[in-house]
Structure 1
């Protein structure tokens, strides 16, 4: 293989530095994705007239903003879910078999063999765990604010592509979740990993998620705000994103050793339930609409 034919990839992990302190591209991409998702969700709430609710406090009726708490619910739950998902699904032997491992799962530190510890940040976040955490948070949010559950889920399905796309861009900047060795002309040589040309699986996913965002926004504009609350957009999101995730795994290298002995890797195994739930939501629109009214 002629290495000059491929894209050599070796970016600095830090987007910028101020003295000894710096912001990593990965963290920056997470924040950009969440911020854009927040702004898009806010616009959808306003279009659908659900940002404010009238409530009785004492003897007065007051308007309460029910959108603002959503960001906190989502931000915390996605990070916690993604972290726990990685530790439980991908590295249970490391994090669930010792007290030190359990502490490392919860805190962004690593214990040194000779004693002591160092700050590492959270090294390892799993998208499937993030989705599970997000769903739990949305249920709690709807329970507390009385916003219809299927309305929130559909709006989340419309917005999620932008956040998911930027997270994968962060993975690309980190040279992680790399693809298998290949000779396609657009292969990347991840110098922080090895000198072999590989599929840029992170880039495939990022482009797919951004494309999904454009398509789902087009559908929403054509169908209008009244189409939200049936479960269709939430189902479409799960079905399309996790079907693509299932297929793209064939171009990725395994992330942990035990996957080598499995007929499907962990990403594919975890994607199957989400695909089935997505299809069920898309075909069960009238039933979802009735549930959404409660």
Structure 2
């Protein structure tokens, strides 16, 4: 068993102002995405300035934050937030939905594309390899918050989490960091280094994320207010990943068929 590091969720305490590690992880994700996008900008759109790129990153960041929070409210704990709507603004306590954030990013990207004469999938293919930076940082934020831990286990790397009872558990946040952050970034970054048909990079992102998340859900404890939806193992996260994988596969098939038809 490994000791849980017990990091204070508050990174900096300035009296009435408290800066949480969870919030800083979002800044790391947004900043990392901007830096990597800057490196890829010339090959994507040589006429764009850094200001235009910053606008795109800002729009998508707002999509992540607003969509992620609203997605959690709608998908995971709607009755609680209806009873106390002010809880929606307490984002430093966690409670963000990746699938809601994805919908937010898609909407923001579509609106940005309309304003800048770029197709939706051109922008999504450009953005997709940048997303794992934020996903990985977010999972580290979950780990510091000691939330979203896994099931009880006897694996050598199990940890006892402050709010998880006395038994050692899977550090599922670190599994997701490794898969959704590191592995997904490596796959998409190297795949997108060569020209690919439009929609292919977006499709690969959806497939890989959906598979990775579906797998980790088997060892992650589901949200207490939802529990398992069916068969004693199916979670909301898995339900939301199924259309991602199917949709991603459809995008890749369509992308390469359309490329072959043009050849």
Q: TM-score, normalised by structure 1?
A: 0.80
Q: Could you give the per-residue CA deviations for residues 264-289 of structure 1, whole angstroms, max 9, x where no partner exists? A: 11111111111111111111115777
Query: Residue 246 of structure 1 aligns with which residue?
Result: 214
Q: Could you give the per-residue CA deviations for residues 156-213 of structure 1, whole angstroms, max 9, x where no partner exists? A: 1111111111111111111111100000000111124322110011100111121221
CA gap 1:287/1:197 in 2 versus in 1, 3 angstroms: same
C-alpha separation between the residues in 2 aligned to 1:286 and 1:192?
A: 48
C-alpha separation between the residues in 1 aligned to 2:131 and 2:61?
A: 13
Q: Could you give the per-residue CA deviations for residues 232-278 of structure 1, whole angstroms, max 9, x where no partner exists? A: 11111110011110110000112133323533111111111111111
Q: 2:238 aligns with which of 248, 252, 268?
A: 268
Task: State how 1:1-294 maps to structure 2 within 5 Å.
Answer: 5-52=1-48, 66-96=52-82, 98=83, 101-105=84-88, 107-108=89-90, 121=92, 123-208=94-179, 209-221=181-193, 223=194, 226-227=195-196, 230-263=198-231, 264-286=234-256
C-alpha separation between the residues in 2 aligned to 1:201 and 1:135?
A: 27
Equivalences, count: 257
CA gap 1:281/1:11 in 2 versus in 1, 3 angstroms: same
CA gap 1:64/1:194 in 2 versus in 1, 3 angstroms: closer
Deviation for aligned residue 1:82: 0.6
C-alpha separation between the residues in 1 aligned to 2:2 and 2:93?
A: 31
> In the alignment, is the contact (CA less than 8 A) between 2:140 and 2:173 conserved in 1?
yes
CA gap 1:283/1:24 in 2 versus in 1, 3 angstroms: same
Q: TM-score, normalised by structure 2?
A: 0.89
Consecutive unaligned residues in structure 1, runs of 5 or more: 53-62, 109-119, 290-294
C-alpha separation between the residues in 1 aligned to 2:155 and 2:52?
A: 49
Question: Based on CA coordinates, which of the two structures has the bigger radius of gyration?
Answer: 1
CA gap 1:246/1:261 in 2 versus in 1, 3 angstroms: closer
Give the superposed CA RMSD.
2.3
C-alpha separation between the residues in 2 aligned to 1:258 and 1:191?
A: 21
CA gap 1:41/1:93 in 2 versus in 1, 3 angstroms: same
